[in-house]
Amino acid sequence: MARTVFVGTSRLTRFNEIVAILLRHNAWSLLRDMMDEEEDDEDGAPRAIKVRELLEALGPTFIKLGQLLATRPDLVPKSYVEEFSKLYDQTPPSPADEVQRVLREELGRDPSEVFATFETRPIASASIGQVHKATLLDGTPVAVKVQHVGIEQRMVLDFQILKGLVTFIEKTFSESRVWQPMDHLEELRLMLERELDYRYEMRTTKQVCANFSGDATVHIPAVYPGLCGKRLLVMEFIEGTKLSRLDGPEVALLDRRAVARNLTTAMAKQIFVDRLFHADPSPGNLMVQGTSTVVFLDFGAVGLVTERRAKTILALITSISKGDPEETGQAILDLCDQRAELDVKRFQSDVERIVDYFERESVSVADPVLMDLIVGIARSHKMLLPPDFALITRALFQFEGFCRALDPAFDLTEVLQPFVQQILWRNLSDPRAQKDLVQETIGEVLKFGRTLPHTLNTVLRKIERNEITTRVDLVGLEGIKQAQGRGVLKMAFTVMMAALLIGLGIVYASGASSGRVGQFLFASAAVAALWTLVMVLWSEAFKGRRE
Phi first, then psi, for residue 150 (nearest 5°) are 85, 0
Instruction: Assess whether pLDDT exceeds 70 at residue 5.
Output: no
pLDDT of residue 131: 94
The string of pLDDT tens digits covering residues 499-546 is 666 666 665 555 555 555 565 565 666 666 666 666 666 555 545 544
Task: List Cβ neighbours of 18 (8 Å cut-off, separation of 6 or more).
Answer: 58, 158, 161
Confidence class of residue 87 from pLDDT cuts 50, 70 and 90? confident
User: How far, in Å, CA of 64 to CA of 463, rounded?
Assistant: 59
Q: Which of 4-8, 245-249, 280-284, 424-428 has the highest mean pLDDT?
A: 280-284
Rounded Cα distance, 115 and 218, in Å: 28
332 closest CA partner among 383, 292, 269: 383
Distance CA 477, CA 473 (A): 6
Distance CA 518, CA 458 (A): 48
Average pLDDT estimate for 118-132: 91
Distance CA 213, CA 251 (A): 26
What pLDDT is recorded for position 546?
Answer: 46
Give residue-wise pLDDT tens across range 395-445: 776 677 778 778 888 877 677 676 666 666 666 666 666 566 666 667 666
Average predicted confidence (pLDDT) for the chain: 77
Contact 71, 394 (CB under 8 A): yes
Q: How far is CA 178 from CA 184, 255, 425, in A?
A: 12, 49, 39
pLDDT of 212 > 50? The answer is: yes
Q: How far apart are CA 60 and CA 75, in angstroms?
A: 21
pLDDT at 476: 46
* Contact (CB, 8 A) for 87 and 52: yes
| Of residues 460 and 235, more confidently modeled | 235
When pLDDT is averaged across residues 200-204 and rounded to a whole number, the result is 94
**Closest by CA position to 294, among listed 249, 264, 268:** 264
DSSP string, 304-352: E--HHHHHHHHHHHHHHHHT-HHHHHHHHHHHSEE-S---HHHHHHHHH
Residue 195 pLDDT > 80, yes or no?
yes
Q: Are strands 141-147 and 218-219 parallel, antiparallel or unpaired?
A: unpaired
**Mean local confidence (pLDDT), 316-341:** 86
Identity at 42, one-letter amino acid code: E
Q: Which of 21-35, 76-90, 458-472 has the highest mean pLDDT?
A: 21-35
Q: Among 20-29, 47-56, 322-331, 487-496, name the one with the lowest average pLDDT.
A: 487-496
* 3-state SS string for 431-474: HHHHHHHHHHHHHHHHHHHHHHHHHHHHHHHHHHCCHHHHHCCH
Q: What does R_g of the chain's alpha carbons equal in angstroms? A: 28
**Report field, pTM of the whole predicted structure over 0.75:** no
Position 246 confidence tier, pLDDT thresholds 50, 70, 90: low
User: ∠ at Cα 259 (195, 269), nearest 5°?
Assistant: 55
Q: Among the residues of 323-430, which ranges form H helices?
A: 325-335, 344-361, 368-380, 387-406, 412-429
Average pLDDT over residues 351-363: 85
Q: How confident is the model at residue 315 (pLDDT cuts 50, 70, 90)?
A: confident
List Cβ<8 Å contacts ≥24 apart for 149-152.
149/6, 149/7, 149/94, 149/98, 149/101, 149/102, 150/5, 150/6, 150/7, 150/8, 151/6, 151/60, 151/127, 151/196, 152/196
Is pLDDT larger for residue 387 or for residue 225?
225
Length of the chain: 547
Contacts of 139 (CB under 8 A, 6+ apart): 116
Average pLDDT over residues 231-242: 92
183 vs 429: which has the higher pLDDT:
183
Which of 42-51, 235-244, 263-272 is predicted least confidently? 42-51
Q: Give the pLDDT confidence score for residue 530 in this predicted structure.
A: 66
CA gap 297, 285 in Å, rounded: 5
User: In this structure, which long-range contacts are made by residues 329-336, counting pairs with CB atoms below 8 Å and at least 24 apart in sequence?
Assistant: 332/374, 332/377, 332/378, 332/383, 335/309, 335/385, 335/386, 335/389, 336/378, 336/383, 336/384, 336/385, 336/386
